[in-house]
Amino acid sequence: MRPDSDIVPLDKRTPGVATIEPLIFPQLERLYARRAEKLRALADKDQEPPVLLNGEYFLFLSHLVEGQKGLVEQSPLAEADRASIRALAAGGYRQDELEDTLLGLTVWQSAYAQLVESLKPHLQPDIVADLLAGLETPAVLSAQAALLLRGQYDQVDPGLSVLLWAALSVCWAQAMSQHEDMPGIGRATHCPCCGARPVASLVLGGDREGLRYLQCSLCETRWHRVRGVCVNCHSSADLQYYTLSEKAPDQAEACGECKTYIKVFRLDYDPELEAVSHNLAYQLLDSLVVQEGFTHLGFSPFAFPG
Ligand SMILES: [Zn+2]
Ligand SMILES: [Zn+2]
């Protein structure tokens, strides 16, 4: 692992004991710093290979992620808010009163307001006005947040969704860090801490050489899943691996049994790779696998469908 990686080295106090941690929590400031750096680099139009999205959008995202980093550093979550968020997640967001609970939980609304504030110098005034309008109607914002948490992305205002997700994410990530281990992690397709979909899976290098973890799109936790087994249906009968070139750090693991796929980012090949920014920038592999009839299990927090 790189010295500035957000994945801390294994605890070596018990030599000789091979440990596979069920969960790896990120060092959030490092994670956001690296992600912002990668997004800034992607904004450079002369990228090789060329990226598919507009450079301005990557620059906007880099400012957004800097804003998340600032929140963690300057306004860390109080324990009471962490507990409230963990309780919400434990209910699977199925509660009838989810919107009301979110309305009463002001910490994510403050995060949203502060993110808008941090983006002000980088956005057109009319876009800022639209984003601020959400704050004038916290009930509407809470209803939209509830839809995001329930995975009903296509029903969320596309102008709000990226920023709203970023606000929820920075709170959820702090709430779930150091979450106690729980049963069922080894078979979880969605995040065992917060229930969100994975961004992708990572094959780690360094002292965790070859281990595979899924990375949560909302709370950034990584959870262990053995390789060679479909992360969705648990079958190993018909797994196929797609890649654009030999030793490419991105692969797609597709399952012929359940017709789903998940990206596999090989940090053992490229320790520099940052999952969220890389996944957003390089989607050619996805389009090829989708053409083969597979459905994506992963979710990109900066590219909402619809
Ligand atoms: Zn999560
Ligand atoms: Zn499967």
The pLDDT of residue 178 is 75
Task: Name which residue leads in pLDDT, 44 or 235.
Answer: 235
> In this structure, what token pair is assigned to residue 126?
């009319």
Centre of ligand 2 to C-alpha 151, Å, is 21
The answer on pLDDT for 45 being more than 80 is no
Domain end position, chosen among 141, 157, 176: 176
Centre of ligand 1 to C-alpha 89, Å, is 9
The pLDDT of residue 41 is 92
The pLDDT of residue 135 is 78
Instruction: Specify whether 229 is located in the same domain as 273.
Output: yes
Residue 118, domain extent: 28-176
Ligand nearest to the CA of 218: 1
Ligand nearest to the CA of 220: 1
DSSP state for residue 156 in the 8-state scheme:
S
Instruction: Specify whether 227 is located in the same domain as 171.
Output: no
The pLDDT of residue 9 is 73
User: 139-166 b/e with 16+ CB inside 10 Å = b?
Assistant: eebbbbbbbbbeeeeeebeeebbbbbbb
Domain end position, chosen among 176, 195, 225: 176
Centre of ligand 1 to C-alpha 17, Å, is 28
Centre of ligand 1 to C-alpha 198, Å, is 8
Question: Using one digit for the tens of pLDDT, what is the confidence trace for 129-175?
Answer: 888 887 778 999 999 999 999 999 989 988 889 999 999 999 999 99
Residues in the chain: 306
Mean pLDDT of the chain: 90
Centre of ligand 2 to C-alpha 256, Å, is 7
Question: What pLDDT band is residue 216 in, cutting at 50, 70 and 90?
Answer: very high
The pLDDT of residue 273 is 95
The answer on pLDDT for 221 being more than 90 is yes
The pLDDT of residue 246 is 86
Q: Are 129 and 145 in contact (CB under 8 A)?
A: no
The answer on pLDDT for 306 being more than 60 is no
The pLDDT of residue 240 is 96
The answer on pLDDT for 11 being more than 70 is no
Instruction: Specify whether 37 is located in the same domain as 170.
Output: yes
Centre of ligand 1 to C-alpha 34, Å, is 19
Instruction: Specify whether 146 is located in the same domain as 194.
Output: no
Segments of 112-238 assigned E as strands: 198-203, 212-216, 222-224
The pLDDT of residue 44 is 81
Average pLDDT over residues 277-287: 91
The pLDDT of residue 127 is 82
Centre of ligand 1 to C-alpha 272, Å, is 22
Centre of ligand 1 to C-alpha 116, Å, is 23
Question: Using one digit for the tens of pLDDT, what is the confidence trace for 173-191?
Answer: 999 987 776 667 778 999 9
Centre of ligand 1 to C-alpha 214, Å, is 10
Centre of ligand 2 to C-alpha 90, Å, is 26
Centre of ligand 2 to C-alpha 146, Å, is 29
What distance in Å separates the CA atoms of residue 113 and residue 120, rounded to the nearest whole number? Answer: 11
Centre of ligand 2 to C-alpha 197, Å, is 16
Average pLDDT over residues 50-64: 80
> In this structure, what token pair is assigned to residue 253?
């693991």
Give yes or no for a cis peptide into 49 (omega within 30° of 0).
yes
Instruction: Specify whether 275 is located in the same domain as 201.
Output: yes
Residues having C-beta closer than 5 Å to ion ligand 1: 191, 193-194, 196, 216, 218-219, 221
The pLDDT of residue 15 is 55
The answer on pLDDT for 16 being more than 60 is no
The pLDDT of residue 46 is 63
The answer on pLDDT for 29 being more than 60 is yes
Write the CATH number for 63: 3.90.1670.10
What distance in Å separates the CA atoms of residue 177 and residue 191, rounded to the nearest whole number? Answer: 13
Centre of ligand 1 to C-alpha 150, Å, is 13
Domain end position, chosen among 121, 156, 176: 176
Ligand nearest to the CA of 230: 2
What distance in Å separates the CA atoms of residue 46 and residue 55, rounded to the nearest whole number? Answer: 10
Q: What percent of the chain has pLDDT over 90?
A: 69
Instruction: Specify whether 144 is located in the same domain as 69.
Output: yes
Task: Name which residue leads in pLDDT, 9 or 89.
Answer: 89
Centre of ligand 2 to C-alpha 229, Å, is 8
Report angle CA 221, 224, 229 to the nearest 5 degrees.
135
- Going by C-alpha positions, the residue among 275, 253, 280, 255 that lies closest to residue 265 is 275
Residues having C-beta closer than 5 Å to ion ligand 2: 230, 232-233, 255, 257-258
Provide the domain count of the chain: 2
Average pLDDT over residues 70-79: 95
The 10 Å Cβ neighbour count of residue 305 is 10
